[in-house]
Amino acid sequence: MPTKTDPLSGYDTAASETGLSFRQRQEMGLTIPAMAKLARKMKKAGKLSSELDIAAAQILDALVKENPKAFGKPGINWESILAFIEKMLPIILQFLAIFGV
Phi and psi for 4 in degrees, rounded to 5? -85, 130
Higher pLDDT, 37 or 19: 37
7-43 residues labelled b (16+ CB within 10 A) or e (exposed): eeeeeeeeebebebbbebbbbbbbeeebbbebbbebb
3-state secondary structure the chain: CCCCECCCCCCECCCCCCCCCHHHHHHHCCCHHHHHHHHHHHHHCCCCCCCHHHHHHHHHHHHHHHCHHHHCCCCCCHHHHHHHHHHHHHHHHHHHHHCCC
pLDDT of residue 17: 56
Mean pLDDT of 7-19: 52
Global pTM exceeds 0.75: no
Mean pLDDT of the chain: 81
Split at pLDDT 50, 70, 90, the class of 37 is very high
59-88: per-residue pLDDT in tens? 999 999 998 888 887 778 888 888 889 999
Mean pLDDT of 21-37: 87
pLDDT of residue 70: 84
pLDDT of residue 16: 55
